[in-house]
Amino acid sequence: MPLFGNRRRQHREVPTYIGRKFSSRAGVEESIAHFRSAITQQLGTEPEFFTAEWTGPDPAPVTVIGAVPPGTAPAARRQATSYLALWPDGGMHFVAPDYAVRPTPPLVGMWKMRDASLASTGSVEADEFGVGGR
């Protein structure tokens, strides 16, 4: 028998991260206003904002805001949309299409300039987030 034996390796799936978790002491409406301002500043022009339907796990957020850069072709809308889900306790999930490339987009700094209580609390796993429609 070999000295180190032949142990079976347990296969664990590596989580797929799609966004950032934040918390803020600002209310839901104020957080939405800060997000709108910061993403508009990052893009250099105001995106199209819409409300998305939550299909993720419970508890459901109070609201989910989607933002699509202006002029995005209809076929590319789903892949180009950023989402912000907001819970009443100040928790937020920000999911961006380019998260794998830019886990900390410039809008985070712009957002913190508007809301000093904004704090990163982790990463959003793919199975923690779901939206329908659009």
Please, what is the Cα angle at 77 between 16 and 28, to 5 degrees? 70
Chain segment 49-80, per-residue pLDDT in tens: 999 999 999 999 999 999 999 999 988 988 89
Quick one: pLDDT at residue 101? Answer: 84
The structural domains of the chain, ordered by start, are: 17-129 (3.30.310)
Which residues 6+ apart lie within 8 Å of 57 measured at CB? 127, 128, 130
Nearest to 96 by CA among 111, 82, 115: 82
Q: What are the residues whose beta carbons fall under 8 Å from the beta carbon of 118, sequence distance 6 or more?
A: 22, 23, 24, 26, 34, 108, 111, 112
8-12, 40-44, 111-115: which has the minimum mean pLDDT? 8-12
Count of H-run helices and E-run strands, the chain: 3, 8
pLDDT exceeds cutoff 70 at 133: no
Q: For all residues of the chain together, what is the average pLDDT?
A: 90
Q: Which residues make Cβ contacts (< 8 Å) with residue 123, sequence separation at least 6?
A: 15, 17, 19, 20, 21, 103
